[in-house]
Structure formats: C-alpha cells, structure tokens
Structure 1
Amino acid sequence: MKTILVADDDQHVRYLVKELLMKEGFQVIEAADGAEALKRLHNQICELAIVDIMMPVMDGYKLTVEIRKHFDIPVVLLTAKSQIEDKEIGYLSGTDDYLVKPFEPKELIFRVNALLRRYGKAMESNIRIGSMLINKKSYEIEVNGKTFILPLKEFELMYYLASNLNQVFSRGQLIEQVW
C-alpha cells in the first residue's frame, strides 16, 4: 500500500483529499503545516506529497524545496493560488505538478497515479551501484561477473536500500516496506 502525505492547514481539505485517496487504496498521513509535514516525512516513508502553498510555520514552496533536498518523491502543489507567477515559483521550487483549488477529485487521482507510475518506473528497473547490478526481473545480484541468488526477503531488502541511497531507515520502516 502506497503512502501519501497531505499537507494543508485547512482540515476540511485534508479530510476531503484523505477520503478520496483512501477510497483509491492509499494510506494517508496528514500535516497541518510545512514543519509538521517535514517531521512526518522523516518518520514515515511516503511515495508522494500533496502540499498546499499557504500554510503557517513553513509554506508549501519552502516545504517543496526541503522535500527535494532530502527525499526522492513526487510533489503536487494543491492550492488556491492560480496566478502564473505562483505556478512559476512552484515549479522553480521543485514541484512535479500544480493543481488549483477548487479541483476535480478525479483529476487529482489521475495526476497522483501518473506521478507514481512515472517515479515507479525507475524503481522497477535494474540498479547498478559500482560493479554491482541488481536485476529486479530475475531476482539476481551480479558482482564482478559473479551471480548471486539471495532469499526473496534479503533480495527485496537489498533492492529497497539500493533504490533509496543516502537515506537512513529505522527497523520499523524497513519491516513496513519489505515485510
């Protein structure tokens, strides 16, 4: 089950987006401001973030910049700010998509699924780190021309860690993602 962070200071919008995403089979984590969202991202693995721009403590632009620094997940800015200048700042901050409120619920789902598909393709391919090749299709690891076949869970753990280089995970996070 994929986890999505919804960061918006309006609890009604958070509730609406959460219900919409849960109906589609996603797990949802909520945050009422940018600082809280960043804390939640550091404590819980998320595959995507839906962020409002106008939030207290840390706005959506700054949050998007911080997400880009520390995480490799798609970001959708979901906001009432509809001016082209606002969109420009959003994209310059690093957002992958920009949707203006009020929005069509189905369109949000289409965009979320498209972004997850796009980011997911990189996760499904082979991973090369130095002389090591991790082959997702054959579940084999090749190092210096020698092939290793690991037990399934060990392979999945290796693949997950290789897919998320330079990130630290707690034991609980690894168990949730791999087991």
Structure 2
Amino acid sequence: MHVLIVEDDEHILRLLDDTMQRAGHSTTLTTDPTVAEKLFTERPADAAVIDVLLPGMDGRELCRRLKMLLDVPVILLTALGEWDDKRSGFEHGADDYMTKPFIPDELLFRLQAVAKRYERTAQTIVQAGPLTLDLRDYRLNVDGETMHLPKREFELLYQLAAFPSRVFSRDELIENVWGLDFDGDDRTIDVHIKRLRSRIRHEQVVIRTVRGVGYALEVMT
C-alpha cells in the first residue's frame, strides 16, 4: 500500500514514515498541503494520513479535495479532541480520526483496517442465492423484487452475503460496518439482525446465530 503522509511536525512525519515502512508500505511525505494535492494528482496514493492543523490549508479541506479526486482511506490527525472537530472531519470525508498524542502502531492498525473495508467494497454487486445487493444505490433484489433497506442494515447484510457461511463475530461486524470508533455495544448487531430477518423471509436464506460467537448467512440449496 502506498501512503501519502501530510504532517508539518517533522518528528511526527518521520515517525509515521518509519512505522509505515516497517510494515512494508511505501510512502510519500510532505509538510505542505498544496504540495500534497499536487503529488496526489500526479500519483494517487492508496491511502492518506493528514494532520488537521496545516499551514495554508486545513487538513479537513485537503481531505475533501483528495476524496473528490479519488476515494481512498483517509485518517486525520489532530490535537483537537472535541466531538465537533471530529464530526467536521467526518463530514469532510475522513474515514477515521486520531487525537495526538497517539500510538503509531494503533494508527497503522486503523489504517490497514479501513483499507481492508475499502477492498471488500470495491466489488459493488454481491450475489448470495436469491439475494442481489448493489452497493452503488443500496438496493436489495430478492427474486426480482426490489427492496431499499436502511443504510446500516444494508451494510450488515452486504457483509454477511459477501462471505456466505462464514461466521462473523459481533466485534468483527461492528468493526466492518460501524467502524473502530463505534461507542455502542454488541446488542446493536442483534437488533439489526432481528430487523433483517423480519424483512427477508425467503426459504433459501437463513441468517444463522452461532451461540457465543456471532452470525452467518446461509444459502440453502
């Protein structure tokens, strides 16, 4: 994975560079957001780590501009820990947010987790027996009948349908659908599964509960 790192603190910039390089990722480094946009235009990265408080351009604005060029995973870094600041970052397209000081290996883990979610959703259409899920418009087709599900329900079903028969733990589903910063509990998964079961009543499709573990979508033949 090629990572663009935009950070005006040289110490943090080098620390992030070393962390990414040790994990086998290549990097492009800059302290200047205008240069970062130019570099990204010339050679798009696979992901980006961007400081919010940059000279000349707010990191959230840079995130928004990069996302307009190419939708890649972006983690924002900031010394600001207030929810309003984080919300602004997410509204500008950030996938995750870390407050300084941070643990470099945790940032690496979060970036790789977000990148994996992007890889899984690169395929926009998933087929599982009579179910066809189209991620482009969150449309579910069941034996020719179209249904529109709430966003989280669709994403949860999409995750299960993309890997039929695989058992996902509640923690995995929370991470993959709600993200690492989800502050609820795993009962949220149970509620959404119950709703999906009530909406999708088809003899060939079963969302199976694996007691003490999680859930799996089974396609009966």
TM-score by length of 1: 0.66
- Aligned to 2:97, the other structure's residue is in SS state strand
1:126 CA displacement: 7.2
Which residue number corresponds to residue 74 of structure 2?
A: 75
Which residue number corresponds to residue 95 of structure 1?
A: 94
What is the correspondence of 1:7-18 to structure 2 with a 5 Å cutoff? 7-18=6-17
- The answer (yes or no) to whether the contact 2:20–2:26 under 8 Å persists in 1 is yes
Which ranges of structure 1 fall in alignment gaps of 5 or more residues?
Answer: 128-179
1:124 CA displacement: 6.0
The alignment's C-alpha RMSD in Å is: 1.6
TM-score by length of 2: 0.54
Q: Give identity over the alignment, percent.
A: 33
- Aligned to 1:16, the other structure's residue is in SS state helix
CA shift in 2, pair 1:85/1:18, >3 Å: same
1:122 CA displacement: 3.0
- The answer (yes or no) to whether the contact 2:15–2:104 under 8 Å persists in 1 is no
What is the correspondence of 1:55-70 to structure 2 with a 5 Å cutoff? 55-70=54-69
Could you list the per-position Cα deviations for residues 58-98 of structure 1 after superposition, in whole angstroms to 9, with x for gaps in the alignment?
11011011012111101100111111111111111110000
Q: Is 1:109 the counterpart of 2:103 in the alignment?
A: no
> 2: CA distance between counterparts of 1:60 and 1:33?
10
Please identify runs of 4+ aligned residues in structure 1 that moved more than 4 A. 124-127
Could you list the per-position Cα deviations for residues 29-62 of structure 1 after superposition, in whole angstroms to 9, with x for gaps in the alignment?
0111211111110111311010000001211011
Which residue number corresponds to residue 43 of structure 2?
A: 44
CA shift in 2, pair 1:59/1:124, >3 Å: same
